[in-house]
A and B are shown apart, each in its own frame.
Chain A
């Protein structure tokens, strides 16, 4: 019993608080869902901030209906991954380019100081050939928010309301594999984030279930593939009938393949790729 209590204490001592920032519903699940699930399973407390309301991507649903359904679906997906809380900021999807970057940053800053994370996972704003620019704008704002969360001269009213400055020790930049140079280090291993591959073999099942929970965007993806094939005189036997079962299968193929792409040359079978900035990012080795 004593041993068990000691073990529990050890686990709790190492448990971290993790803040995940995402622009939209599918991105954090597809790019980082396995890692998030592993963190939660190891006892970390994970909080999600979702910047847009995902109101655009659906099939034959109004923007309002889409936003309402996707909100519930993200919350379901988050639960599967073990995320404790979801905060949706409600900006309209595809329109972050028209929002003040400072406004998005300060909304995120609020949550950084509120949640006080040890670790943040944010969209990589430098990942190239990512066509959803909301991810770029969100990544830029999140990167800044993480930095200024530690600086007392930013948003003094927050401090007066009880939100003290906070240093986030670890930062993961995530993105789906569009950037052909995503495995190249930005610089030498001092202040710049470095490529990091995380094994997700043990959490793939949760990632898959979380991804399948996003039924509105998944159905839209399936119908759009089918429409494109129909228009060009082709078909995909799996999508001859687009129903719950065929969409779930399509999502499974997608999630497994993404994990294989990320695992390439890493020694793992199933993985996710990041650019990672650990504590060295803030205090370089030569000063330690």
Chain B
């Protein structure tokens, strides 16, 4: 925790975050509300690609049905967004998508414990070494699904390790499993709350896959209309982008979105002394025992 305190002071003074290493393990789960939360504007796509590159089997959980996201009406949005989620996560090397299919932006009606129970069951099934999700302590996230799923996740990752929590799961042959490593994400530019304590360095290929995974979501991103309005705005200011020459509006829109992913990855990289990066709040396997972390670090030995 002292280390964490120092890290946070470091961030406040514009100093670099330590670079995270990928924890040893085999399975990762990304547990999120929405189809596109693997690669939204604040990251994750790069870290997912990096973890799958390290040989992990990985799974994406889409908790909502994403019916509000897109211009095709509720049932079609749900279908398109799920398919694009499958396509996007595949680009990142993930194995599959679970859709819990709760009603988008109306998840307050679900008892938190029911959502948590589903997540606990999936955690016990896959026994992930690493889980990625939204940071429930991030402030100013106006998205109710982010808050709700993050909160269910925050408890599920440790409660899944207690046999007295949903003992019925054990009848299926599953065992209690506490998730040892957690990477949480929120907008670092949203204000207090989310405290990034590590940066994850990305390579060129990981950033490119992150871009491709992001623009796989054509139902909501990279729309030709977005490119048209960008071009119109530039034209009004007497500017043009040479790269747009000969491109359709849709192709231009894809380029714009890819540049966005490239820009944010470079920006986080520059802030942390590397070419490309994403930043996270990381909780290691024994960080929930702040009085014991130093002792364990100093005294644990390999068998």
Chain A residues in the interface with B (C-beta under 8 A): 30, 55-58, 60-63, 66, 94-95, 97-98, 128-129, 131-133, 176-178, 180-181, 183, 221, 224-225, 228-229, 232-238, 250, 253-258, 261, 264
- What is the CB-to-nearest-CB distance from A148 to chain B, in angstroms, rounded to a whole number? 25
On whether the beta carbons of B8 and A233 are closer than 8 Å, the reply is no
On whether the beta carbons of B164 and A225 are closer than 8 Å, the reply is no
The interface residues of chain B lying within 8 Å CB-to-CB of A61 are 164
The interface residues of chain A lying within 8 Å CB-to-CB of B195 are 128-129, 180-181
On whether the beta carbons of B112 and A97 are closer than 8 Å, the reply is yes
On whether the beta carbons of B192 and A181 are closer than 8 Å, the reply is yes
On whether the beta carbons of B112 and A98 are closer than 8 Å, the reply is yes
- Our pick among B4, B158, B159, B292 for the contact of A253 (Cβ within 8 Å) is B292
Known: A129-B137, A180-B5, A261-B1. A229 touches B291 (CB 8 A): no
Assembly CA distance A255 to B295 (angstroms) = 12
The interface residues of chain B lying within 8 Å CB-to-CB of A235 are 300-303
Interface membership of chain B positions 147-181, coded 1 if the CB is closer than 8 angstroms to chain A and 0 otherwise: 00001001101110111110100000000001010
- Our pick among B113, B281, B289, B302 for the contact of A95 (Cβ within 8 Å) is B113
- What is the CB-to-nearest-CB distance from A138 to chain B, in angstroms, rounded to a whole number? 14
- What is the CB-to-nearest-CB distance from A112 to chain B, in angstroms, rounded to a whole number? 27
Does B7 belong to the interface (CB within 8 Å)?
A: yes
Assembly CA distance A238 to B283 (angstroms) = 24
Name the residue in B155, B197, B290 with the highest tally of chain A Cβ atoms < 10 Å from its Cβ.
Answer: B290
Known: A98-B112, A180-B5. A133 touches B291 (CB 8 A): no
Interface membership of chain B positions 261-303, coded 1 if the CB is closer than 8 angstroms to chain A and 0 otherwise: 0000000000000000000010101101111101110011111
- What is the CB-to-nearest-CB distance from A251 to chain B, in angstroms, rounded to a whole number? 9
Given contact pairs A55-B164, A63-B164, A235-B300, a sample of 8 additional A-B residue pairs in the complex whose CB atoms are under 8 Å apart? A58-B164, A62-B164, A66-B164, A98-B113, A180-B1, A225-B296, A253-B291, A253-B295
Known: A224-B161, A225-B286. A254 touches B291 (CB 8 A): yes
The interface residues of chain A lying within 8 Å CB-to-CB of B155 are 94, 97, 131-133
Does B191 belong to the interface (CB within 8 Å)?
A: no
The interface residues of chain B lying within 8 Å CB-to-CB of A63 are 164, 167
- Our pick among B5, B154, B163, B180 for the contact of A228 (Cβ within 8 Å) is B180
- Our pick among B164, B167, B296 for the contact of A236 (Cβ within 8 Å) is B296
Does B111 belong to the interface (CB within 8 Å)?
A: yes
Residue of A nearest to B302 (CB): A234
On whether the beta carbons of B300 and A234 are closer than 8 Å, the reply is yes
The interface residues of chain A lying within 8 Å CB-to-CB of B289 are 221, 225, 254
On whether the beta carbons of B295 and A94 are closer than 8 Å, the reply is no
On whether the beta carbons of B301 and A232 are closer than 8 Å, the reply is no
Known: A133-B154, A176-B290, A181-B8. A257 touches B178 (CB 8 A): no
On whether the beta carbons of A224 and B290 are closer than 8 Å, the reply is no
Assembly CA distance A181 to B191 (angstroms) = 13
- Our pick among A97, A180, A181, A257 for the contact of B291 (Cβ within 8 Å) is A257
- Our pick among B4, B163, B292 for the contact of A254 (Cβ within 8 Å) is B292
Residue of A nearest to B295 (CB): A253
Assembly CA distance A178 to B3 (angstroms) = 11
Assembly CA distance A257 to B290 (angstroms) = 8
The interface residues of chain A lying within 8 Å CB-to-CB of B180 are 228
The interface residues of chain B lying within 8 Å CB-to-CB of A261 are 1-2, 290-291
Residue of A nearest to B24 (CB): A232
16 residue pairs from A and B, CB less than 8 Å apart = A56-B159, A56-B165, A63-B164, A98-B111, A131-B154, A133-B155, A180-B7, A181-B8, A228-B178, A229-B300, A233-B303, A235-B303, A237-B299, A257-B292, A258-B291, A264-B2
Assembly CA distance A229 to B296 (angstroms) = 10
Assembly CA distance A9 to B157 (angstroms) = 53
Assembly CA distance A254 to B292 (angstroms) = 5
On whether the beta carbons of A234 and B1 are closer than 8 Å, the reply is no
The interface residues of chain B lying within 8 Å CB-to-CB of A177 are 1, 290
The interface residues of chain B lying within 8 Å CB-to-CB of A236 are 296, 299-301
The interface residues of chain A lying within 8 Å CB-to-CB of B7 are 180
Assembly CA distance A55 to B296 (angstroms) = 27
On whether the beta carbons of B303 and A234 are closer than 8 Å, the reply is yes
On whether the beta carbons of A128 and B161 are closer than 8 Å, the reply is no
The interface residues of chain A lying within 8 Å CB-to-CB of B24 are 232
Assembly CA distance A228 to B285 (angstroms) = 8
Residue of A nearest to B3 (CB): A180
- What is the CB-to-nearest-CB distance from B152 to chain A, in angstroms, rounded to a whole number? 9
On whether the beta carbons of B158 and A131 are closer than 8 Å, the reply is yes
Interface membership of chain B positions 204-243, coded 1 if the CB is closer than 8 angstroms to chain A and 0 otherwise: 0000000000000000000000000000000000000000
Assembly CA distance A228 to B55 (angstroms) = 21
The interface residues of chain B lying within 8 Å CB-to-CB of A57 are 162, 164
Residue of A nearest to B175 (CB): A227
Known: A250-B292, A253-B291. A128 touches B8 (CB 8 A): no
